[in-house]
């Protein structure tokens, strides 16, 4: 199968390319050539900016297109306009952020979507990201009725993750000592290894599957404490988990999801990490063991420069300051 991947040289894109090649497909990349241009030197690469000029796509024909980086509907309509009559199947990587209400567990693909007052805005913020992804979905379906696959991932994790949202925890546990942890080990979380997601998407593309699918994991209720305990077992560290009250953290201006990744407190977020993925499971989505994801993430992280800038998680200084403050308060 001839596949065009829009993107392809970052996190999920890289995994999609590797999975497609593993299963014998011909892959072409279309991107700006800015991120990791040294990757996949043997592949055909079409260099261009989807926001400006798509003429480089003219004269080509692919059976399927996987779009990893559409953030507002104009990007989708322009791409599909340029490819009109030349593709048979289109995959849009969307997000579970499209939903409007995360207060209840069990969100399914037909749950209400978030809306936005100005449909023409192209400013990506925490408030606009989800609604704009929803508009990308509807644009794809309008332009290619019956030919679009919409994938709504949750938090994607694993090697080459640029967000550090998951990576922070295994690395912090490996460092050992007393660790500031939010709330308790009992709250639920959801993650999906980038390689599991990519392999599943490629298999759906092979089968010409269309429709909408939530895509996170695993296929059992995962508690946050299991991530920490598994990380401690793998690294044989002396980590000690200090579970800190939610209100104390909020009072000290600790930001959920960024300062303490994965943590989403409050009743309004009760269902954010308990999304229903039954439809994806029925189409063959499977998961490697959590321990494998943690181990491979740690191995990859060890190859990064020691002075790289972390994009999520508490700094050692901030964590120590909070732990000292907690200890003083208790004494």
Residues 185 and 68 in one domain: no
Q: With 70 as the cut, is the pLDDT of residue 210 above it?
A: yes
In the chain, the number of structural domains is 2
Nearest-angstrom CA–CA distance, 127 and 116: 8
Residues 316 and 224 in one domain: yes
Residues 153 and 17 in one domain: yes
Check which CATH number belongs to the domain holding 296 and give it: 3.90.25
Q: With 80 as the cut, is the pLDDT of residue 329 above it?
A: no
Decide if 152 is inside a domain: yes
Residues 96 and 210 in one domain: yes
Closest CA to 161 of 198, 200, 119, 207: 198
* pLDDT given for residue 26 in this prediction: 98
pLDDT band at 326; cut points 50, 70, 90 = confident
Residues 37 and 184 in one domain: no
| C-beta separation of 162 from 17 below 8 A | no
Residues 146 and 174 in one domain: no
pLDDT digits (tens, 9 = 90+) for 19-67: 999 999 999 999 999 999 999 999 999 999 999 999 999 999 999 999 9
Nearest-angstrom CA–CA distance, 280 and 327: 45
Residues 87 and 209 in one domain: yes
* pLDDT given for residue 331 in this prediction: 44
Closest CA to 83 of 25, 14, 18, 2: 2
Closest CA to 158 of 299, 7, 29: 299
Decide if 6 is inside a domain: yes
Nearest-angstrom CA–CA distance, 280 and 211: 11
CA dihedral 22, 23, 24, 30 (to 10 degrees): -70
Calculate mean pLDDT across residues 283-289. 98
Which strands make up the sheet holding 44-47, listed edge to edge? 44-47, 26-31, 2-6, 64-67, 89-93, 148-153, 211-215
Residues 7 and 143 in one domain: yes
Calculate mean pLDDT across residues 147-162. 98
Decide if 330 is inside a domain: no
Residues 114 and 178 in one domain: no
Residues 116 and 179 in one domain: no
Residues 236 and 253 in one domain: yes
- How much is the mean pLDDT over the chain? 96
Q: Which domain holds residue 252?
A: 168-189+220-273+289-324
Closest CA to 294 of 155, 157, 184, 185: 157
Residues 11 and 95 in one domain: yes
């Amino acid at each position: 199968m001839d596949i065009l991947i829009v993107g392809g040289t970052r996190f999920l894109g890289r995994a999609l390319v590797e999975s497609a090649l593993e299963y014998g497909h011909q892959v072409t990349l279309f991107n700006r050539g800015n991120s990791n241009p040294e990757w996949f030197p043997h592949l055909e690469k079409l260099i261009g900016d989807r926001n400006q000029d798509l003429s480089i796509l003219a004269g080509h024909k692919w059976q399927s297109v996987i779009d990893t980086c559409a953030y507002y509907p104009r990007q989708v309509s322009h791409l599909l306009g340029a490819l009109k009559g030349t593709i048979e199947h289109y995959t849009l990587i969307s997000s579970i952020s499209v939903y409007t209400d995360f207060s209840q567990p069990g969100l399914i693909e037909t749950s209400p979507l978030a809306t936005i007052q100005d449909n023409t805005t192209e400013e990506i913020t925490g408030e606009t990201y989800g609604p704009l992804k929803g508009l990308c979905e509807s644009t794809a379906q309008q332009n290619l009725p019956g030919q679009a696959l919409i994938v709504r991932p949750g938090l994607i994790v694993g090697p080459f993750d640029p967000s550090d949202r998951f990576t922070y925890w295994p690395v912090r546990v490996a460092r050992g000592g007393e660790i500031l942890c939010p709330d308790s080990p009992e709250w639920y979380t959801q993650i999906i290894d980038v390689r599991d997601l990519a392999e599943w998407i490629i298999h759906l593309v092979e089968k010409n599957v269309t429709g909408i699918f939530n895509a996170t994991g695993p296929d059992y209720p995962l508690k946050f404490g299991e991530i920490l305990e598994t990380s401690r077992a793998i690294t044989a560290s002396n980590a000690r988990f200090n579970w800190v009250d939610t209100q104390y953290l909020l009072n000290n201006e600790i930001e959920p999801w960024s300062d303490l990744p994965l943590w989403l407190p409050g009743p309004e977020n009760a269902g954010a990490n308990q999304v229903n993925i039954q439809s994806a499971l029925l189409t063959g989505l499977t998961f490697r063991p959590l321990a494998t994801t943690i181990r491979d993430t740690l191995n990859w992280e060890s190859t990064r420069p020691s002075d790289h800038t972390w994009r999520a998680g508490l700094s050692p200084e901030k964590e120590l300051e909070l732990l000292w403050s907690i200890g003083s308060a208790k004494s």
